[in-house]
Copies of this chain bind each other. A is one copy, B any other.
Amino acid sequence: MIEAVVDTLRPLLGDRVSTAAAVREHHGRDEGWHPPAPPDAVVFAESTEDVVAVVRACSSSGVPVIPFGVGTSLEGNIAAIRGGLTIDLSRMTSVLEVNVDDLDCRVQAGVTRAALNRVVARDGLFFPIDPGADATLGGMAATRASGTNAVRYGTMKDNVLGLTAVLADGAVVRTGTRAKKSSAGYDLTRLLVGSEGTLGVITEVALRLYGLPEVIGGAVCSFATLDGAVRTVIEAIQLGIPVARLELLDEVQVDACNRYSGIDLPVTPLLLVEFHGSPAAVDDQAAAFAGLAAGHGGDGWRWSTDAAERERLWTARHEAYYAAKAMRPNALAIPTDVCVPISRLAQCILETRADIDASGLTAPIVGHVGDGNFHVLVLFDPTDAEEVASAHRLNERVIVRAQALGGTCTGEHGIGCGKLEFMAGEHDPTALAMMASIKRALDPGGIMNPGKVIPHVEG
């Protein structure tokens, strides 16, 4: 079947259709720990029309279609586990519109977050959603990504104003209007955000932008204990201090970041915190936060409004996953991604820390704790069966605990194929059946990124 599809597409796309082994292998692997699953062919799309042609060809042949940005997903979201054709959108890099007056923009799906920020910075604007990797905005929309600024600015759910997507039959849907809100019909935008390519291939994204804050003040604060750091976070959120970023690194992660990114943070549990606003507002917020930290054994409060220093620090934070992996060359990492109600965060993190200690594994903790979201980066040697099993047991315990505390198995990485088994622990059977109904209605042939997100539904 795939040969016929490739033959159909070749006249249209020329050498932008590839079945070369190296190209296929590159597209079968993301940055996670899952075994690679290369597609049978890869198409490099340059336009929505290219994607339409590919989806139509696949649709009539029943060939799976997998969208691919730059491959920075973590849960096998892009793995071609049933073969098929991967659509690489990384050449769709046009920033189509920047509407300074409306604080919004429209970009092709292959634009990365850093590329967008370089463009809009000229107008004094920024886009706040920042997963660790420099992911594409289409991929970020598809996985409902967030990052360090979500505590203040929300996630992709809150910042995607509309989408263009190619549906399973090749039809192009454009969702949303340019108004900031609407009550006109079903929220197709938010149905597609987080659907991980299982309902359609996102080809364009309209996004909210924000004015660069008048002042950005940042601080690093060391704590004698993990508990002290987490309790500071909880109180700050409960008091409604409008932190822009609020990140936790345990001492293992700090040590890894120091080595990998060439910085010299004190090797203790740390909070990285940032405030955005007018000078007076930032001063107010920082003083309130510093007071809470001091009450929980925080010391070494280092305050800075220096942009270069801040940049170094946040670059290190964004590199945390790579830094953790570099602690053990050849190791893989399960980047668990739980998120719990803030009232349960201390219990969840401290019990998790005890689990890690009992496991004997190396597993730094890092996370967007202002949201109740954290990652345990569980390092394991994939050639050591016992360690593999131990890592998976730890991952499962972290997830089951978070779900029991009212939380989720993934705050921002998505389900992919890596977390399918945990969906039933989180959603009731009716919710899963409702998702499956929607999937069947919009993709009756089951060709859109099959085997992802929805358990037991594929055709």
Residues of A at the B interface (CB closer than 8 Å) are: 99-104, 143-146, 150, 154-155, 157-158, 167, 171-175, 177-188, 190-191, 193-195, 199, 210-211, 234, 237-240, 277-278, 280-281, 283-285, 337, 339-343, 371-373, 402-403, 406-415, 419, 422-423, 426-428, 430-435, 437-442, 453-454
Within the complex, what minimum Cβ distance (angstroms) separates A98 from chain B? 12
Partner of A408, one of B182, B426, B433: B182
Partner of A157, one of B99, B143, B150, B187: B187
Query: Which residue in chain B gives the minimum CB-CB distance to A142?
Result: B183
Which residues of chain B have C-beta atoms less than 8 A from A402's C-beta? 179
Partner of A185, one of B280, B413, B427: B427
| A101 B342 Cβ-Cβ under 8 A | yes
Query: Which residue in chain B gives the minimum CB-CB distance to A429?
Result: B171
| B280 A181 Cβ-Cβ under 8 A | no
Kindly list the 5 A-B residue pairs having the minimum CB-CB distance in the complex, ordered from nearest. Answer: A178-B406, A441-B441, A182-B408, A101-B343, A280-B280
Partner of A183, one of B100, B154, B239, B411: B411
| A435 B339 Cβ-Cβ under 8 A | no
Query: Which residue in chain B gives the minimum CB-CB distance to A408?
Result: B182
| B193 A415 Cβ-Cβ under 8 A | no
Query: Which residue in chain B gives the minimum CB-CB distance to A338?
Result: B179
Partner of A179, one of B102, B187, B234, B406: B406
| B179 A186 Cβ-Cβ under 8 A | no
Which residues of chain B have C-beta atoms less than 8 A from A155's C-beta? 181
| A438 B186 Cβ-Cβ under 8 A | yes
Known: A172-B430, A428-B173. A409 touches B191 (CB 8 A): no
Query: Which residue in chain B gives the minimum CB-CB distance to A455?
Result: B185
| A211 B240 Cβ-Cβ under 8 A | yes
| B431 A173 Cβ-Cβ under 8 A | yes
| A412 B183 Cβ-Cβ under 8 A | yes
Query: Which residue in chain B gives the minimum CB-CB distance to A213?
Result: B240
A433 CA to B180 CA, complexed, in Å: 23
| B407 A210 Cβ-Cβ under 8 A | no
Which residues of chain B have C-beta atoms less than 8 A from A193's C-beta? 187
Within the complex, what minimum Cβ distance (angstroms) separates A22 from chain B? 31
Query: Which residue in chain B gives the minimum CB-CB distance to A124?
Result: B240
A246 CA to B306 CA, complexed, in Å: 34
A454 CA to B184 CA, complexed, in Å: 10
| A190 B190 Cβ-Cβ under 8 A | yes
Which residues of chain B have C-beta atoms less than 8 A from A413's C-beta? 183
Which residues of chain B have C-beta atoms less than 8 A from A103's C-beta? 237-238, 240, 342
| B238 A407 Cβ-Cβ under 8 A | no
Which residues of chain B have C-beta atoms less than 8 A from A177's C-beta? 403, 406-408, 426
Query: Which residue in chain B gives the minimum CB-CB distance to A343?
Result: B101
| B341 A102 Cβ-Cβ under 8 A | yes
